[in-house]
Amino acid sequence: MTPLLVAAGALVAIGAAVGTGARDARIASLGLAVMLAAAPFVANPLPGPLPLAFGVVAGILAGFLVFVAARRVPNHAGPPLGLPATLGAAAAGFAVGISATAVALPRLGPDAALAAGLAACAVAVGPIAVTRDIFRLGSALIVLVGGAILVLTALAGTPEPLTGIAAGVVLVALAGAVAAVTGGAVAATGGTAVPDGLPGRRAAATRAGGDR
């Protein structure tokens, strides 16, 4: 485990914490972009130049798509946890991952990837479980998937280029979905809160009338 690897892992963890804990949605999207762009570097050995570049570009593109959505988020819609608490959770997850050597977890990848992955999962679980804000939920889902890919890297070793490419596609698709659903929520409800209540059974006239 090299210091550079740990530094890249720490950058991912901080990016994940900012992505899920920053009050300003645009700063959160910046944190996401940092996390996703740094994540491909947390591997030993590093992926080839082309898959690495693809991962970085996909991460930046995903962050940009979330930034597009962030511009429509009202200022009052903050994360469920503040930034300090989220940073604390990320630090705890990172420490657990780095200490995994102590329990001899069988794996083929670096500790730093496990640390960064666990940190990302730790900060993402809270918003996914409790938030009713569609933007925060989407950001947390992106962080969770990014964290899972890092955990996969830690357990199974540096992913094959095809896996890296597919992961980049999924992250971009998820970011696009976040942009779409955030825009739709703002258009339909004027905010980014997931509407309350169970979906009612559609009346016959409504369903027969189609989508519009």
Partner 1 sequence: MSVLPFLALAIVGAVIATLLREFRRLGTLAGLGAVVVALAAAGLINPDTPLSIGGGALAGSDHLRLVLTLCLAGGLLVLIVARLATWQPSAPGALLGGAAGIGFALGLAGTPPGLLGAAAATIAASVLALGSPAAPSRIRALARELRGAATSLVIGLIAAGIVPGVAPAPGAAPAEPAAASLVLLGMALVVAHRFGAIPLHARVSRLADAAPSGALPILAAWLPAAWGLIILGWAPAALGPSSVGLGLERGLVVTLALATLLFGTVAALIQDEVEHVVAYTIVADAGVALLALAALDPAARDAARAWILVFATTRTAMIGWTIAFRAAFGTGRLRDTTGWLRRAPALGVALTGILVAAVAWPGLLAWDARLTILQSATAGPALLLAYAGSLGTGAAICRVLVVGGGRPSAIVASSLGELPRLPAGLVAQAAVPMPDGAPPAGAIAAAGALARRLRVAAAAAGRDARPTLELNRIPLRAFAVILLAGLALLAAGGAFGIDAAARAPGPMLPSPAPFVGG
Contacts with partner 1, residue ranges (CB under 8 A): 50-51, 105-108, 121, 128, 134, 137-138, 141, 144-145, 147-149, 151-152, 154-157, 159-167, 169-170, 173-174, 176-178, 180-181, 183-185, 187-189, 194-195, 198-202, 204-205, 207-212
Nearer to partner 1 by Cβ, of 30 and 178: the residue is: 178
- Torsion angles phi and psi, residue 193, rounded to 5: -75, 135
Quote the CA–CA distance of 140 and 163 in Å, as a whole number. Answer: 21
User: Which residues are paired to 133 by β-bridges?
Assistant: 193
Give the shortest CB-105-to-partner 1 separation in angstroms: 8
Residue 95 Cα to chain centre, angstroms: 19
In angstroms, give the least distance from the CB of 7 to partner 1.
24
Cβ neighbour number for residue 197 with a 10 Å cutoff: 5
To partner 1, the closest distance from the beta carbon of 47 in angstroms equals 9
Least Å distance, CB 197 to partner 1, is 8
Choose among 132, 44, 40, 122: nearest CA to 86.
122
Q: CB-wise, 84 or 202, nearer to partner 1?
A: 202
State which residue, 3 or 103, has the beta carbon closest to partner 1.
103
Cis peptide before 45 (omega within 30 of 0): yes
* CB closer to partner 1 out of 7 and 176: 176
Shortest CB 147 distance to partner 1, Å: 8
**Phi, psi of 133, rounded to the nearest 5 degrees:** -95, 125
d(CA 82, CA 204): 45
Q: How far is the CB of 131 from partner 1 (least distance, A)?
A: 10
Distance between CA atoms of residues 17 and 32, nearest Å: 9
Reported as half-sphere exposure (CB side, CA atoms, 13 A), residue 202 has a value of 8
Residue whose CB is less far from partner 1, 4 or 173: 173
If the CB atoms of residues 3 and 198 are measured against partner 1, the closer one turns out to be: 198
Structure token pair of residue 50: 């082309």
